[in-house]
Structure 1
């Protein structure tokens, strides 16, 4: 017999749940991951290199370079809460706790081998703050420790006074009110992806939902990974979302065909000036398309550097060669190592060379 479920009561909803903390805990952790997602979208929009780590000494840790010799770190403790924090609540030890919120944050940063590489320490709270500056009528998204009055500074200093190396902590400390809402944050992040692509590459077709799903799954996977990695490259691969990885994901889920005239000219050059079988020719066309997508969608500095290097070499050598095949051989010999290592195959280099020859330079 068919049952109209729209008219039926939920047997599990007739009694209040004994335990609701599980859902609240999941939402709090889920919020942290989505806040982290927003941060990397902001970094990507600015064209910055980054590596974002979840649950690595703090809730969210952001490196501002993929070069370990140059990078500095921003540590973020993220709280999804309705409580409006005061300096007193941040520096007092709550019942059942052994240390205050500020002490916990300071201990992540002070007297560590990486302490000198820390550029910023943020306490991020959805509940906001009630400091002296708010009593004066100001409402800031980011409140640096320098905005605190003398009494508030004294309370923070007293709270961390027993922590070794705490002298450098206070100047790096800031309090942040996130713009990401406490509810429906997944939809906000997906909308932010759409807004980002529309801004950096207008006219592209894209799949914001697929980009969202790929990145949030990767964030969850890497957040669950509790192993330590002494090697920087291993840490980037297994624990971080990097600028390069995000750029690749976005590139895989957007599409816009190159100008038909350029594609036709490329095919003509391959047919007339390169001795290739059909498989090799297809690989070059695929490399051309991948490079084209990178050029129009990526914010990575490396893409701009690679493009500039190829164009430089073409302009320098073009007059000495009568066909594209010979010119490419000369250009490849002139390219720097960083450019060559950017490409996975020789066909990818050829595709990029042909793109810049047809689109990037005037000969």
Structure 2
């Protein structure tokens, strides 16, 4: 075996290399794609974060992403009652808007506010929109009529008359008509641009702990399922003439969120829920034949509503839950159940065809609550 060469005196040993140098280490020509993707992620995270907060306080029933605007919230599942909030989301420190940048046009492209009001250009849509909301992570530099305040959300009527006049005149010149500026709100979101994903997961953890403080739940898995549904529906570009198809294929509903929370935040299975149902019907003194019939109705109702269901199922569940919550009983008696079924909302009676189905639905929602 060859002897190793003796090291020359005074020559230091070469340092060991623990990491390889990057062969692609050079200034990148283009980073816009990564930045665009991050803005895209923030928009979806903000939509989910805001929807969870609004749904918690009964302020929103549906969220749509990339539909007329970046984000649209609907107040109701009912097409006749629904009112809307249209939101445009801007990220980046440069999105620190003042009265000039809000209406500035570059090469005749629409201004930020001009684009927003174009989204509600239809009279039919405009009549149903309660708020047009510009959401900017960089905030706003706008003069307020009352000095010394720092507002998370600035309503139009909080601006100085001079600021409101300048913006209004610029928009009228751009759009060729006056706008419903009283609907305009400027909002700096609580959700920060950094670590927004973790913040949304943290909110989900808080909501889970409110429901089942001793059981926990898989917050990250629930977040991924909700985001997957939002993104799948966000890329849908079809137009829908009927409301139910739009809600099913384009929207994320509060009832769907609740159904997913039930699956991820609770250890209760369908069988366990039906076992509780069996105990409840025994306590309500149903006869054996009636118990078998009403149990089948209960199982059908649970399966139809567990994963969100169709719009009609969502409306039925929402109406029964609301009816129960108006005077939630500490104990459900047969007399009270009869009264509830007799006074049930019209939408529930329309879709649940007999008394057994209605009674089963009330018992299930009582157990869920």
User: Is the structural similarity TM-score above 0.5?
Assistant: yes
Which residue, out of 141, 146, 155, partners 1:130? Answer: 141
Query: Which of residues 21, 25, 33 is equivalent to 2:36?
Result: 25
* Counterpart-to-counterpart distance in 2, 1:13 and 1:276: 74
| Partner residue, 2:241 | 230
* Paired residues of 1:262 and 1:359 also in contact (CA < 8 A): no
* Counterpart contact for 2:99–2:167, Cα < 8 Å: yes
Is 1:305 paired with 2:323? Answer: yes
Please say if residues 35 and 180 of structure 1, whose CA atoms lie closer than 8 Å, have aligned partners that are also in contact. Answer: yes
8 A Cα contact 1:225 1:239, kept in partner: yes
Larger Rg: 2
- Where structure 2 has 5 or more consecutive residues not aligned to the other structure, the ranges are 1-16, 309-316
Change (3 A) 1:107 1:244: same
Deviation digits for residues 42-72 of structure 1 (CA, Å, limit 9, x no counterpart): 1221134522111111101111111111111
> Higher helix fraction: Structure 1 or Structure 2?
1
Larger mean CA deviation between 177-186 and 126-135 belongs to 126-135
Matched, 1:120 2:140: no
Whole-Å separation in 2 of the counterparts to 1:166 and 1:191: 44
Which of 101, 126, 131 is equivalent to 1:89? 101
Q: Aligned pair 1:11/2:25, yes or no?
A: no
> Is 2:325 aligned against 1:314?
no
Matched with 2:109 is: 98
Alpha-carbon distance, 1:139 to partner? 1.0
Q: In the alignment, is the contact (CA less than 8 A) between 2:259 and 2:306 conserved in 1? A: no
Q: Indicate the larger mover: 261-270 or 133-142.
A: 261-270
In the aligned structure 2, how far is the partner of 1:57 from the partner of 1:268? 51
Confirm whether residue 255 of structure 1 aligns to residue 266 of structure 2: yes
Unaligned runs of 5+ in 1: 1-5, 319-329
Partner of 2:5: none
Indicate the SS of the match to 2:133.
strand
Shift of 1:190: 0.6
Q: Tell me if the contact between 2:298 and 2:364 (Cα under 8 Å) persists in the aligned partners.
A: no
1:146 matched to 2:157: yes
**Greater RCO structure (CA 8 Å; 6+ sep):** 1
Counterparts of residues 49-198 of structure 1 (less than 5 Å):
49-83=60-94, 84-94=96-106, 96=107, 98-133=109-144, 136-162=147-173, 166-198=177-209
For normalisation by structure 2, the TM-score amounts to 0.75
Look up the match of 1:323. none
Distance across 1 between alignment mates of 2:145 and 2:190: 18
TM-score, L = length of structure 1: 0.76
Matches within 5 A, 1:185-334: 185-256=196-267, 265-266=279-280, 273-275=287-289, 300=318, 302-305=320-323, 314-315=334-335
Shift of 1:109: 2.0
Per-residue displacement from partner, 1:135-173 (whole Å, max 9, x unpaired)? Answer: 943211000111111221122112211466853421000
> Judging changes above 3 Å, is the alpha-carbon distance between structure 1 residues 202 and 98 closer, same or farther for their aligned structure 2 residues?
same
RMSD of equivalent CA atoms? 4.4
State the shift of 1:356 in Å. 8.0
Which residue of structure 2 lines up, in the alignment, with residue 3 of structure 1?
none
How far apart, CA to CA, are the structure 1 residues paired with 2:264 and 2:307?
A: 10
CA distance in 2, matches of 1:344, 1:186: 44
Deviations 1:264-307 (A, max 9, x none): 845967999425999x979967978999999xxxx955423267
Partner residue in 1 for 2:313: none
Q: What count of residue pairs does the alignment treat as equivalent?
A: 339
